Amino acid sequence: MKTVIKAAFFDLDGTMLDRDASVKQFIVKQYDRLEKFLSPISKRTYCERFIELDNHGYVWKDKVYTQLVEDYQIKGLTSEDLLEDYLTYFKEDCLPFPKLVEMLEQLKQNHLKLAIISNGYGRFQMDNILSLGIKSYFEVILISEWEGMKKPDQQIFQRAMMKLNMTPKECIFIGDHPKNDIIAAKQAGMETIWKRNDQWNDAKTNFIIDELIEIPQLITNLNKKKEFSSF
């Protein structure tokens, strides 16, 4: 009998957290909070330059803010001050992709075990998970800083499977990054679902979705196919 999917592993940024939308909302509010220091720069210029330097979250903010201070000769605020503001307030602007909670509810009703494997800083990422209100759905949450390893390192996938007592064939991984999520999870032996986005054209994946709510039915159909093919 073919092994059915019993666990779903999720990336966080760009998969459950709509990071690009969250950043756009946050950076406008940051400008407004600190306008007395930033007013020599137009709000539009500041926000657009931050988003450009941030590169969808793949450049850590200490470098982003150091460059901003240098670019615009910001007075009265250091890059450390701006970073502290980011660490303090970003969680207030976390926006989920549509129907995130509804999707997780359906997966739990279908008796799947759920885990998060996320690159990033531990407390920061956990604050964002708490802000989204989804922590209770997950039996395992691994964040790279706390684990001492990060995707695409195979060990972090293996650690998550071990904690859930699952084999690779019982697991499916959902993510947005073609290499760190999809290729890495496939190399770990899992099937994969790529959440399509505008940043990349393609991913070597088993399945592609545009909306999170597609996931429960996709897994249900996959398991029915596996069960049927075993006869």
Helix (H, G, I), strand (E, B) or coil at 13: strand
Pairing of β 113-118 and β 140-143: parallel
Q: State the pLDDT confidence band at 135, using cuts at 50, 70 and 90.
A: very high
pLDDT in tens, 191-205: 999 999 888 888 899
Tokens of 69: 């201070």
pLDDT in tens, 50-109: 999 999 888 989 999 999 999 999 999 999 999 999 999 999 999 999 999 999 999 999
CB-CB neighbours of 118 under 10 Å:
28
Instruction: Tell me how far apart the alpha carbons of residues 138 and 104 are, in angstroms, rounded to a whole number.
Output: 9
Tokens of 99: 């129907």
CA 175 from centre of chain? 7
Can you list the positions of beta strands (E) in 82-190? 113-118, 140-143, 171-175
pLDDT in tens, 53-66: 999 888 989 999 99
The confidence score (pLDDT) of residue 1 equals 53
The stretch 101-120 carries a mean pLDDT of 98
CA 177 from centre of chain? 9
Residue type, position 18, single letter: D
pLDDT in tens, 142-189: 999 999 999 999 999 999 999 999 999 999 999 999 999 999 999 999
The confidence score (pLDDT) of residue 200 equals 82
Pick 2 or 49 by higher pLDDT.
49
Mean pLDDT score across all residues of the chain: 95
Angle, vertex CA 27, rays to CA 74 and CA 99, nearest 5: 170
Instruction: Tell me how far apart the alpha carbons of residues 105 and 126 are, in angstroms, rounded to a whole number.
Output: 20
Q: Does the CA dihedral 57-62-66-69 come out positive or negative?
A: positive
The stretch 110-115 carries a mean pLDDT of 98
Kindly tell me if the per-residue pLDDT of 229 is higher than 80.
no
Query: How many helices (H) and strands (E) would you count in the chain?
Result: 11, 6
For 192, residues 6+ apart whose C-beta sits below 8 A from its C-beta are 172, 173, 174, 175, 181, 182, 185, 186, 203, 205, 206, 207
Tokens of 37: 């220091």
The confidence score (pLDDT) of residue 230 equals 57
Q: What is the DSSP string of 52-84?
A: HHHGGGTS-HHHHHHHHHHHHT--S--HHHHHH
